[in-house]
Structure 1
């Protein structure tokens, strides 16, 4: 039997979630949808992956301090004058060149540097021994964070679409309440295109047809590329399906440049 005042589209399995803030209308707190609602915290929680990585690094650091794991080192070339590692070998000159002090030399100094990593073999052993404990602790920390957030800020209902957007770092656009945006922007792309600045930017990146002057094949390019004098060559190299040997236009342009 359907509860009085409950929309028929509301998922009844969510009624016992303990969410009281939106229990009367049972709609998404962002877009107002009434389908596929999920109870979630008002404050964005850290992801499972971020907590897992943090716990893994914590245990790795402890094992490093105890000497149970050894850090892999690598041999690097260093400048004999300033000791910098920004050293490049010039094949044409047959010498090394330091990008810091601008010195040329024949033989660099070889030195060992820590990489901050462990070997693949040590990692496999470490993860096999500690993965179950790390995952268990991660789930417990995530559960505690969720419980503390609920007790402090309460819960809200979001539809699965808004929940997915929130999980990926997007907010609902306050103007249209239909599309999503990054938190650093004031509006979504669809709303931004309606402004004077947005219209100019949208026109710049508009997709237009471009007919190649040599082979007359039509390609789709962004409008701002039309002013590029090298567009014909770029289209041949990036968009054309023909190989370099088959493209007579590229051959012709290559001959013209020589």
Structure 2
């Protein structure tokens, strides 16, 4: 695992094109072990000792102090996804629509088609399927009774897609991806993922470098202790796990980070309303538990 200064140098080299992206990735993740944490390293502990204060900056306690990060770097794939989305949007905005024959080939190769049943008389969608009566189907629009519905072919749907993307047929999620995810897509989504694929191929180097650079920047920020406060074990737990902090008004009770004060410090009317809401939530939870629906 690279040290803080080594990661800074790695980012600088990558930014100045002094090192290839794959080489930089290999260096960063070299010797990385599952479950390994940066705060277990000697480098972290030595730098932490220079930053941590002698008291909790939230409640003033001096017991079991830790450095609490106020922000954390995301997983690398999240950066890659975000940058890919950006390049895909740019690609779609600047590139003419994919040719119909190419799109048709893509759909047939990558999706299973599950057609929508139609009335053979009026082409209304989803006729009623009867269990006992014959003929088996009844169209609720034209009252036609029939034994078997009709279906649009893939080519027909794609023709409609290229004519008018607002048609209801275009929005039917009747295409199941053949990959392990088995995603349900409509033609608009199928087109998007094809364009995304083209964008990733075209901009692979740019996407990879930009995503890794952002990942390194946030990692460096995290390791620098820039966005940290000294907190006791209790306050750190409340902040990290419960998303709560000490009320700045009373300095006694904890509150949700998104709220200005704790419930106890609210004006009487608002405090009563908040407590009633909490009590109602507890009763509903208990009722759900008793009914076995929690």
Which range, TM-score by smaller chain? 0.3 to 0.5
TM-score (norm 1): 0.41
Structure with the higher fraction of residues in helix conformation: 2
TM-score (norm 2): 0.38
Q: Which has the higher contact order (CA 8 A, sep 6+)?
A: 2
Structure with the higher fraction of residues in strand conformation: 1
